[in-house]
Amino acid sequence: MNGAAALAAAPFTRLPHALLAAATGAAVVGLLGHGFWSGVGGTPFGAWHYAALLALTVVFARALARCGAFVGDLTVSSIVVTVAALLGLFVFFPVGKSLIAALLDKNGAFAPSLAVERLLAPDIWGAGCLDGSGTHCGVAINSVMLATIVGFGTTLLGLILALAAQRGGQRFSGLYRVMAVLPIVTPPFVIALALVVLFGRTGLITSWLNTLFDIPRTRWIYGLTGVTLAQLLTFTPIAFMILHGALAAVSPSLEEAAQTLRASRARVFRTVTWPLLRPALANSFLLAFVESLADFGNPVVLAGNYEVLSTKIFFAVAGAQHEPGRAAALATVLLIFTLVAFWLQQRWLGKASYVSVSGKGDAGLPAQLPEGLRRGCVGFSMAWIVFTLACYAVILAGGFVKDIGRGDMTPVLSHFADGFAIELRNGWPVFIGSAWDSFLTTVEVAAIAAPLTAVIGLLSAYVITRQQFAGRRTFEFLTMVSFAVPGTVIGVAYIVAFNVPPIELTGGLAILIVCFVFRNMPVGVRAGIAALAQIDKSLDEASSTLRASTWRTLTQVVLPLLKPAIVATLIFSFTHAMTAVSAVIFLATAKYNLATVYIIGRVEAGEYPLAIAYSTVLIVFMLAVLLLVQRFTGSVKIGRRAQAEMVTGH
Amino acid sequence: MKLRAWFAVVALLGAPLSSFAQGELVLYCSVQEEWCRPMVAAFEKATGIKVLMTRKSSGEFYAQIKAEAANPKGDIWWGGTGDPHLQAAEEALTDPYVSPKLDELQDWAVRQARAAKFRTVGIYAGALGYSFNTKELAKRKLPEPKCWADLAKPIYKDDVQVANPNSSGTAYTMLATLVQIMGEQKAFDFMKAMHKNVNQYTKSGAAPARAAATGESLIGITFQHDAVIQAVAGAPVKIVSPCEGTGYEIGSMSIIKGAKNLANARKWYDWALAADGGQAIGSAAKISYQVPSNKKAPVPEQAPKLANIKLIDYDFAKYGSSAERSRLLKKWDDEVSKLPK
């Protein structure tokens, strides 16, 4: 609005700004270009470089605005250009570089034929398990099969649960709310651990069945069955939240109208409710599909010989066969799958499901389900919820007994002592437990990353919703792209892109923080968009008529009203950073280890008791953080809206 | 205001991490974590140096050290079978160092160091073998396996567990042992037949011993000392030295080339070879039943006595060489691991 006045002046007053824009742009390009051209031998960028780049970018943005871009608005221009530059540097550049690594051979030379061979390798696309030859299927086929089964399964289960919650009567409604919280506070492999403890070859239920009914103990839980079960348990709460919100948005008056026209309950459900639910069902399927493809924690514990893309990428990089080219080829395949699914979801359903899930405030009660269906739904839901809670109970109890995986139930505290012992030396507490290093590093990284995520996310949300400028849709799409990139792909990309100068971050703390900030940014954007939709534009307009700049409007009018969204984003980013595993398992080092990485290490060595005890500590810690924040900020709505937005796999 | 609160939280949490210590050491540990932890604790207490430890199998650390060669993150690699250490030495990924404690060591440990031009040194030795769960065996009324050849018999379908030789030095030792006993062609035929009986190729070499102890798998192929840990803890396992003869390992330690804390790495090196230092921790913690390489170090009484086992003359130089190791691993990948079960 200030810039508009400048635009009205004669065009040649833009010339100095154009020159400034050109100069600073060239400086940024030159600085980066020189760094990359020096390559491995050059000096890595230090804090000074990053500060200089940031300053130059902002000056560039402002000069660009004065030339007329972004409607002449300095703040909008600064935000958009800076965020786009950060995204380009920390999302698109690494992913691009790692995809190109698929085209390089062991020595770094360009080898397109090798790339084709890697991308079309039979261990990716082989269909041996489908055509009856008894061999294993390719890893891509495995992943897609698993994801499809899980997609259908979670959608069906989520629908049953949502129907039971909303239309099955009011009993036990609190349980459903517990279901909503669980996926936030759980590391992704906790369910898999619980299943091994219950159903593994020496598991509790297996032993019980063996003793009572002489059923032989097998390793049936390892493989497709086990991973499917684990993913169903993990992702059903998400499907439940989406479908619950969708059911709530179905206007009851439509159903009432149908009933007054003498349709039976079954007919109402079939002809009115179901078609209105279809988009949400498709949405839920696609989200579960992407989550399953990106899931790393469950397959790494339970998959056994059933290889999926995320674990295969991990072993190609971090295992003993260090082959970055092959890992890049696998990452390309995985990325294509998730991008396609994500694009489908955005194309068909992007707008419909995300806007204002809080219900259209229609008077009237939703129609009751047909009686048979109602009983079935409620009964099944109860059983499912009990099963889910039993898994968590096993984990919470497992830390306190000697070896729950072998049925040894003598109560001990030695596992907590192993991991979390504190000794007093010279009057100072020394954290000698083996788990303290990773735990404190994780909390530190999560605490630093959360506010950065909130800042970037909410600023982006503001310019997306409140400002009109050319390229706004593109900018919105760019901010959401990291939803679609699975964690393992980002992890590999960061290793490939940031372990040589000029941007040499691997092995440090910064790379973990950067990874979390840009993985969780879409959540901040989504939460901001949803919250800003509730704030009337007339407030902004009143502020501008009083001649406040955009920046002043933003900081003094809008941000104070966004407090719930800020808190929700902070909490979500913090907990997600505490529980993330698939990206950071590549980035953690001996010096900066993370809790989830440490736990997976213990699981692989077969040391389940410590892993379970540590998981318990993590869950309890995060529940405590959630409750604490809720106490201090009153009603924090980690309600349905935040859930519907929560997409990323771990 | 919230920002300040976050910084306060971060500052408070940073405090315990800043140590009152004399610098740091980044340790790559390739034995069981239950052995790594007391080693770290004892060293920290003795020297005041803060140790940052990760635990991975020897094959994995070899790959990691190779990948990090341009910018090494670790300082010292302790434990794990000798073959990956020898390969790393051959590829000059590790630094030579002649410790003053070298003349206190057994001959086989010094030979290991000489073979690698002092880029590595032997820290313990142990024989290969396998263990099985006696209770499970009795319940299912199966015969006791006594030789390597028994493991390929169809009666043990889905009952054998062993690590993946790519990641685990233990499993690679098995591979090389079989090649030296049966000849390469027969050894690979045997492993193809045994593949049908394998329920899982684990990443960690000692995990199959744990699986056999709990009954998760009937038979687990590991070093005998890994199984002894389980037996001493009371698990119903019997340890077998296969009748055709068996190989053994010389666990090793190497200083990583380009280590950022070289002085501290050398301190660890000397301490780890001392009879009253690192060589005594394992047996004191009842976690190591290997034969320690320092002549004066206490040998646990339950340790399998190498003199009583039919050991082959394991050619460490040949099977630790880069070319041979890569070739055999690739052959295993192509011919054995891809087979259907």
- DSSP secondary structure of B277-329: THHHHHHHTT---SEESBTTSPPPTTS--GGGS-B----HHHHTSHHHHHHHH
Q: Which residues of A touch B200 (CB under 8 A)?
A: 219, 222, 304-305
Q: Residue A207: name the closest of A516, A215, B156, B123 by CA.
A: A215
Highest mean pLDDT: which range of A325-339, B14-28, B77-91, B311-325: B77-91
Q: Vertex A469, ends A23 and A454: CA angle to 5°? A: 85
Radius of gyration of chain A (CA): 26
Shortest Cα distance, chain A CAs vs residue B310, angstroms = 29
Q: Give pLDDT, residue A512.
A: 92
- Out of A40, A222, A431, the one facing B16 most closely (by C-beta) is A431
Which string of b and e fits A548-559 if b means at least 16 CB within 10 Å? Answer: bebeebbeebbe
SS3 B165: coil
Using pLDDT thresholds of 50, 70 and 90, give the confidence band for residue A367: low
pLDDT at B144 over 90: yes
Shortest Cα distance, chain A CAs vs residue B268, angstroms = 17
Q: How far apart are CA B132 and CA B213, in angstroms?
A: 8
Q: Does A407 touch chain B (CB under 8 A)?
A: no
When scoring B33, B81, B329, B338 by the number of chain A Cβ atoms within 10 A, the one with the most, hence best to mutate, is B33
Q: Which residue has the tokens 């320690």?
A: B292
pLDDT at A114 over 90: no
Neighbours of A517 (CB within 10 A): 24
* Domains, chain B: 18-125+249-304 (3.40.190.10), 127-247+322-337 (3.40.190.10)
Shortest Cα distance, chain B CAs vs residue A321, angstroms = 7
Q: How far apart are CA B35 and CA B31, in angstroms?
A: 7
Structure tokens at B241: 């030295």
Using pLDDT thresholds of 50, 70 and 90, give the confidence band for residue A9: low
- Out of B9, B33, B214, the one facing A605 most closely (by C-beta) is B33
Q: Is residue A630 a contact partner of residue B228, using CB atoms and an 8 Å limit?
A: no
Q: Which residues of B touch A624 (CB under 8 A)?
A: none
H or E element in which residue A376 lies: helix A371-398
Considering the four listed CATH numbers 3.90.1520.10, 1.20.120.1630, 3.60.15.10, 1.10.3720.10, the one that applies to the domain covering A141-406 is 1.10.3720.10
C-alpha of B314 from chain center: 16
Q: Is residue B251 a contact partner of residue B83, using CB atoms and an 8 Å limit?
A: no
When scoring A307, A311, A403, A406 by the number of chain B Cβ atoms within 10 A, the one with the most, hence best to mutate, is A406
Q: Residue A526: name the closest of A565, A490, A472 by CA.
A: A565
Q: Which residues of A touch B199 (CB under 8 A)?
A: 219
Q: Give pLDDT, residue B11.
A: 44
Q: Across chain B, which distance is largest between two alpha carbons, in Å?
A: 73
Which of A347-351, A469-473, A612-616, A619-623 is predicted least confidently?
Answer: A347-351
Q: Which residues of A touch B27 (CB under 8 A)?
A: 590
* Contact call for A602 and B70, based on CB within 8 A: no
ipTM of the predicted assembly exceeds 0.90: no
- Out of B164, B215, B333, the one facing A201 most closely (by C-beta) is B215
Q: How far apart are CA A148 and CA A155, in angstroms?
A: 11
Average pLDDT over residues A404-424: 80
SS3 A590: coil
Q: Does A352 touch chain B (CB under 8 A)?
A: no
* Contact call for B166 and A602, based on CB within 8 A: no
When scoring B3, B55, B91 by the number of chain A Cβ atoms within 10 A, the one with the most, hence best to mutate, is B55
Shortest Cα distance, chain A CAs vs residue B284, angstroms = 17
* Contact call for B33 and A304, based on CB within 8 A: no
DSSP-assigned letters across all residues of A530-577: HHHTTS-HHHHHHHHHTT--HHHHIIIIIHHHTHHHHHHHHHHHHHHH
* Contact call for A447 and B9, based on CB within 8 A: yes
Q: How far apart are CA A552 and CA A27, in angstroms?
A: 30
Higher pLDDT, A324 or B145: B145
Q: Which residues of A touch B340 (CB under 8 A)?
A: 128, 133-136
Q: Which residues of B touch A321 (CB under 8 A)?
A: 63, 166, 333
| A-B contacts (CB, under 8 Å) | 128
What are the backbone angles phi and psi of residue B180, rounded to the nearest 5°?
-75, -30
* Contact call for A219 and B210, based on CB within 8 A: no
pLDDT tens for residues A548-591?
888 888 888 888 888 878 888 888 889 888 888 888 888 888 77
What are the backbone angles phi and psi of residue A623, rounded to the nearest 5°?
-60, -40
pLDDT at B3 over 90: no
Alpha carbon distances (Å) from B40 to B43, B46, B205:
5, 10, 21
Which string of b and e fits B94-105 if b means at least 16 CB within 10 Å? Answer: bbebebebbebb
Q: Does A504 touch chain B (CB under 8 A)?
A: yes
Q: Which residues of B touch A607 (CB under 8 A)?
A: 33-34
Q: Across chain A, which distance is largest between two alpha carbons, in Å?
A: 92
Closest residue on chain A to B21 (Cα) = A430
- Out of B33, B66, B211, the one facing A322 most closely (by C-beta) is B66
Q: Give pLDDT, residue B94.
A: 95
pLDDT at B267 over 90: yes
* Contact call for A606 and B55, based on CB within 8 A: no
Q: Is residue A315 a contact partner of residue B56, using CB atoms and an 8 Å limit?
A: no
Q: Give pLDDT, residue A3.
A: 55
pLDDT tens for residues A224-273?
899 999 999 888 888 888 888 788 777 788 888 888 998 888 888 888 88
Q: Vertex A452, ends A447 and A455: CA angle to 5°? A: 135
Q: Residue A370: name the closest of A250, A262, A268, A251 by CA.
A: A268
* Contact call for B216 and A607, based on CB within 8 A: no
* Contact call for A451 and B2, based on CB within 8 A: yes
pLDDT tens for residues A524-550?
888 888 888 878 888 888 998 999 888
| Whether the bond into B340 is cis, omega within 30 of 0 | no
Q: Give pLDDT, residue B21.
A: 47
Q: For the whole model, what pTM was predicted?
A: 0.81
Using pLDDT thresholds of 50, 70 and 90, give the confidence band for residue A495: confident
What are the backbone angles phi and psi of residue B252, rounded to the nearest 5°?
-130, 170
Q: Give pLDDT, residue B231.
A: 92
Average pLDDT over residues B293-301: 90
Using pLDDT thresholds of 50, 70 and 90, give the confidence band for residue A644: very low
H or E element in which residue B118 lies: none
* Contact call for A440 and B17, based on CB within 8 A: yes
SS3 B252: strand
* Contact call for B63 and A135, based on CB within 8 A: no
